[in-house]
């Protein structure tokens, strides 16, 4: 009995710990005054202001474009790599896998500063090109950095799917008249597509969410997290709260939709299995 109450209390405390800050943040996005502790009245002004905030909007645009391009590049290269290593012997495969762990295990700040060093060195080496060299740090460096930290995730998500795939599927495609390219696009790719797609989504979210690595490689550009960072350092403004609320609702919607689709897929599978048994 005591144990049960203790359990309840613990769970309630834990979830309030997890959600209270977010709840307060969102609540105060509707606060009339700028106070972060006194709720004086309801307003949507901060949302209106946010949508007129040029800096935030352009940062949002940059983040979205950057995430899409970086995720696309990383997904293509990472999937190719997964296919390549599935055909390799153990030795070289382990080597590539271990290399891929570096950005995942390394502290983000190290990945950030090491890439920054690289870009600075490249910029200095290309100094004779004049202004072209100066443009390296900015969009190109940011894009490269994002592709770099996304790549291993694609590999780690797609490679197991390939391993789990019946090796005979590829052979069967060849047997039925596909050449290697056709066998990949007609049989292997459809088979691993769910993993490739989730990898792409994961890359998108990581890119949009990343602050630390972008911070060191963006030069003067502002991604959305960098914009948020500079907002938190300036004068207090409930615009941040409004932004938080919007982002939270957007994420919640995405997760709910993804979960719903997954659940629907599961149900469909179970139905199919039941029918096969009958």
Partner 1 sequence: MRSIRVEKYSLATANCKRTTHYHQNRVINKGVVLMDQSVIISLKDIVVDFDDEAVLNGLSLDIHDEEFVTLLGPSGCGKTTTLRVIGGFLAPKGGQVFFDGKDITALPPYKRPVNTVFQKYALFPHLNVYENVAFGLRLKKVEEKLIREQVLEMLELVGLKGFERRGTEQLSGGQQQRVAIARALVNRPKVLLLDEPLGALDLKLRKEMQIELKRIQQSLEITFVYVTHDQEEALTMSDTVVVMNKGVIQQIGSPQDIYNEPMNAFVADFIGESNIFEGMMPKDFLVEFAGQPFTCVDSGFAPNELVQVVVRPEDVQVVPSVAGQLTGVVKTTVFKGVHWEMIVEQGGNEWIIQSTVASQPGELIGMNVEPDMIHIMHRSDEELAYAEFRPEDPEEEEAEDAG
Partner 2 sequence: MRVKRKKGVAVPYLAWMIIFTALPLVLVIFFAFTNKDGGFTLDNLTGLGNYVSVFFLSLILAAIATVLCLVIAYPISFMLSRLRAGRQGILLMLVMLPMWMNFLLRTYAWMSLLEYNGLINRFLGIFGIGPFEMINTAGAVVLGMVYNYLPYMILPLYTAMVKISPSVIEAAEDLGAGFWSKLFRVILPLSKPGIQTGITMVFVPAISTFIISKMLSGGNIWLIGDLIESQFLGNAYNYNLGSAMSLVLMVVVLLIMSLTGGFDQEDIEGVI
Integer CA distances (angstroms), 78 to 51, 101, 104, 194, in order: 36, 13, 15, 14
Instruction: Give the x/- contact pattern for partner 2 in 44-83, rule: CB under 8 A.
Output: ---------------------------------xx-xx-x
Q: Is 20 a binder of partner 1 (CB under 8 A)?
A: no
In whole angstroms, the minimum distance from the beta carbon of 91 to partner 2 comes to: 12
In whole angstroms, the minimum distance from the beta carbon of 226 to partner 2 comes to: 9
Question: Using CB distances below 5 to 8 A depending on partner kind, what does residue 273 bind out of partner 1, partner 2, none?
Answer: partner 1
Q: Is 182 a binder of partner 1 (CB under 8 A)?
A: yes
Q: At what angle do helices 139-164 and 90-105 cross, to 10 degrees?
A: 130
Of positions 191, 201, 211, 221, contacts partner 1 by CB under 8 A: 191
Beta carbons within 8 Å of 158's beta carbon, 6+ residues apart: 78, 79, 82, 192, 195, 196, 199
Q: Is 87 a binder of partner 2 (CB under 8 A)?
A: yes
Residues 250-269 that bind partner 1 (CB under 8 A): 269
From 53-61, 127-135, 184-192, 234-242, span contacting partner 1 (CB under 8 A): 184-192
- Is residue 187 within 8 A of residue 168, CB to CB? The reply is no
Residues 92-151 that bind partner 2 (CB under 8 A): 96, 99-111, 113-118, 120-121, 144-145, 147-148, 151
By beta-carbon proximity to partner 2, the closer residue of 53 and 244 is 244
State in Å, rounded, how far the first CA of the chain is from the last one: 46
Instruction: Give the x/- contact pattern for partner 2 in 187-216, rule: CB under 8 A.
Output: ---------------x--x---x-xx--xx
- Is residue 213 within 8 A of residue 110, CB to CB? The reply is no
Instruction: Give the x/- contact pattern for partner 1 in 143-172, rule: CB under 8 A.
Output: -----------------------x-xx-xx
Question: Using CB distances below 5 to 8 A depending on partner kind, what does residue 59 bind out of partner 1, partner 2, none?
Answer: none
- Is residue 224 within 8 A of residue 209, CB to CB? The reply is no
By beta-carbon proximity to partner 1, the closer residue of 134 and 171 is 171
In the complex, the residues that contact partner 1 under the rule CB under 8 A are 166, 168-169, 171-179, 182, 186-187, 190-191, 193, 269, 272-273, 275-277
């Amino acid at each position: 009995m005591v144990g049960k109450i203790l359990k309840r209390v613990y769970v309630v405390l834990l979830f309030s710990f997890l959600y209270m800050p977010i709840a307060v943040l969102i609540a105060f996005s509707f606060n009339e005054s700028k106070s972060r502790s006194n709720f004086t009245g309801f307003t949507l002004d901060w949302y209106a202001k946010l949508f007129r905030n040029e800096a935030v909007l352009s940062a949002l645009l940059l983040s979205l474009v950057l995430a899409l391009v970086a995720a696309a590049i990383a997904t293509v290269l990472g999937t190719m790599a997964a296919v390549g290593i599935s055909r390799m012997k153990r030795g070289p495969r382990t080597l590539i896998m271990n290399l891929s762990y570096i950005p995942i295990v390394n502290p983000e700040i190290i990945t950030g500063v090491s890439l920054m060093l690289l870009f600075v060195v490249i910029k200095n080496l290309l100094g004779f090109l004049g202004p072209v060299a100066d443009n390296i740090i900015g969009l190109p460096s940011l894009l490269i950095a994002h592709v770099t930290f996304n790549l291993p995730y694609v590999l780690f998500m797609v490679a197991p799917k390939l391993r789990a795939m019946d090796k005979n599927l590829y052979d069967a495609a060849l047997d039925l008249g596909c050449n290697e390219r056709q066998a990949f696009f007609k049989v292997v790719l459809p088979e691993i597509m769910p993993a490739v797609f989730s990898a792409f989504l994961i890359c998108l979210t990581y890119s949009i969410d990343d602050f630390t690595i972008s911070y060191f490689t963006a030069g003067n550009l502002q991604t959305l997290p960098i914009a948020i960072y500079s907002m938190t350092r300036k004068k207090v403004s409930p615009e941040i709260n409004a932004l938080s609320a919007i982002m939270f609702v957007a994420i919640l919607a995405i997760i709910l939709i993804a979960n719903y689709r997954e659940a629907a897929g599961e149900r469909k599978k179970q139905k199919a299995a039941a029918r096969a048994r009958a």
